[in-house]
Amino acid sequence: MSTSPNIARVARVVAAKDLRIEMRSHIVVQQVLPFAGLVMVMFAFALDNDDVLQRVAGGLVWLATLFSLFIVVQRSYAIETSDGALDALRVAGVDSQGIFLGKSAALFVQLITLELLLFVLAVVLYQVQLSLAGLVLLVTCVLCATAGLAFVGTLYGGLTAGAHGRETLLPLLLLPVVAPVVLSATRATESAFLSGGAVLADGWPWVGVLAVFAALFGIGGLLSFGALIEE
Amino acid sequence: MNSTAVRSVGTPSTRLFGLLAIACMTWVVVGGLFFTPADLNQGESVRIMYVHVPTAWVAYLAFIVTGVASAMFMFGKKHSLGFDRVAGASAEVGLMFMAITLISGSLWGRLTWGTFWEWDPRLTTTAFLFVTYLGYMAVRGLGGSPQQRARRSAVVAMLAVLEIPLVHFSVVMWRSLHQRASVLSTDGDIKMDGLMLTTLFVGVIGFTCTFAWLVSHRQRVMAMRDILLATQLDSALNERIAEGSQS
């Protein structure tokens, strides 16, 4: 069993490794970001109404994030399992909590990049309006929601890593878990956009739910990730 | 042991649960369909309650049993596979009861409220619980050694304990901000006479006994399957050793 004294150091190294691989492979930039952008365009085709698009823009951004989350999580573990890298990390005595935090941090950075693009697209394609106060709410919401998504993504990705049929199992496991994130983040984003008569102050309780979600699954992940990846 | 001997598959406790289940279910069918009166407001459709309420109770009980058994596996000193098998068997049986709850509730809703579905917190949480445990069953089927299976599924079951209250809370918040009265308020409208209440109570006991009977048999089948796997491995190893010693 590992007795690594510095979880933060392991987390930093693992996160830097994951991000370096992504920067060199360009998979996120060349495939995931265009995919997410296309999803936003497809929503516009399907709904075909500017008022409706403006009204539901928040939900569409989070749905596009969710779809992309599956791809990013699978990608995050594909680089670990293809050469047995995860097993090598464990055999080398690397702390599982450090791996969990590191992979979550890398996922967090990738998702934030993706969401930045999606929100820019929402402003451009769906013509949503954003005030300064709305921007503060939106940024807080995005940070909390993305932390929660990164934690559960890392956790369930680790669970299905290397398993047969993981492409289909991951959405089945992740979707019910992230439902509170989609619900809360959408409501908070609608408040930030003031869409459909939403009030800015109504958004903050939802950010509270997102923060609780991130904290619970962060702690849950730290405690259980080791048991999931031990073989 | 004589391999051709016919062995009993029951134990005194399973027989007791089985007999109690048959007796109670007979009461529920006969009493629920013929002897209990129709409701003043809901008419004959109220009879769905004798199936819906007990199955909902058993479904939630099943998932509590799964959560507790998973925690006992994870935090017990021996990491006993017995707890894992009870957790798995309980989730399997619970899923069946939850499906019956959702279907019967949806039919009852159509007759009472005019819609198959309402975005009520309790209904929505129940649906999410159903899907979550479908995922749990898929994780149990991932393969690997019984210990691996037990560890993985215990973590998923315990994460579900985190997830379900969050889903419920966020849906409660969502509905409270978005108009429309909750359907829960209409549940209290049924005025039950003594026989209705008794039949419902017998139904709860009957379905609980059915659950206990099914889980005790199912976990026994799982134990036998684990033994079979271990035996096959042992015999394969012995064959290889025998081959090695011959050459």
Q: What is the pLDDT of residues B201-227, one digit of tens each?
A: 999 999 999 999 999 999 999 998 888
User: What pLDDT does B189 receive?
Assistant: 56
Please name the residue of chain A whose CA is at the shortest distance from the CA of residue B142.
Answer: A163
Cβ–Cβ under 8 Å, residues B141 and B133: no
Q: Is residue A44 part of a domain?
A: yes
The two tokens of residue B116 are: 């198959």
CA distances for A144 relative to A81, A112, B66, B218, angstroms: 29, 11, 31, 42
- Tokens 């951004």 correspond to A61
User: What pLDDT does B14 receive?
Assistant: 87
Contact B135 A184 (CB under 8 A): no
- Domain span at B158: 14-179+193-229
Cβ–Cβ under 8 Å, residues B208 and B61: yes
User: What pLDDT does A167 receive?
Assistant: 76
Q: Is residue B188 part of a domain?
A: no
The count of structural domains within chain A is 1
The count of structural domains within chain B is 1
Count residue pairs from A and B with Cβ separation < 8 A.
76
Task: State how far the Cα of A96 lies from the Cα of A203, in Å rounded to an integer.
Answer: 35
Cβ–Cβ under 8 Å, residues B214 and B144: no
Q: Is residue A2 part of a domain?
A: no
Q: Is residue A79 part of a domain?
A: yes
Distance from CA of B205 to the nearest CA of A (A): 31
- CATH code for the domain of B22: 1.20.120
Q: Sorting pLDDT into bands at 50, 70 and 90, what band is B246?
A: confident
Q: Is residue B235 part of a domain?
A: no
Contact B143 A227 (CB under 8 A): no
Q: Sorting pLDDT into bands at 50, 70 and 90, what band is B182?
A: very low
A-chain CB neighbours of B128 within 8 Å are: 176, 179
Q: Is residue B198 part of a domain?
A: yes
Task: State how far the Cα of A70 lies from the Cα of A66, in Å rounded to an integer.
Answer: 7
Mutate to test the interface with A, among B156, B159, B176 (most CBs of A within 10 A): B159
A-chain CB neighbours of B134 within 8 Å are: 172
Q: Sorting pLDDT into bands at 50, 70 and 90, what band is B98?
A: very high
Closest Cβ opposite residue B128 in set A179, A224, A227: A179
Averages of pLDDT over runs of 10 residues in chain A (231 residues) are 68 92 87 92 90 90 94 88 82 88 95 94 89 92 96 92 78 91 94 86 92 94 86 60
Q: Is residue A166 part of a domain?
A: yes
Q: Is residue A184 part of a domain?
A: yes
Higher pLDDT, A93 or B140: B140
- Domain span at A186: 7-229
Cβ–Cβ under 8 Å, residues A159 and B139: yes
Closest Cβ opposite residue A184 in set B128, B138, B170: B170
pLDDT tens profile B109-123? 888 888 898 888 888
The two tokens of residue B244 are: 């090695």
Name the residue type at position B97.
F
Which phi-psi region, left, alpha or beta, contains residue A130 (left: φ > 0; alpha: ψ -120 to 50)?
beta
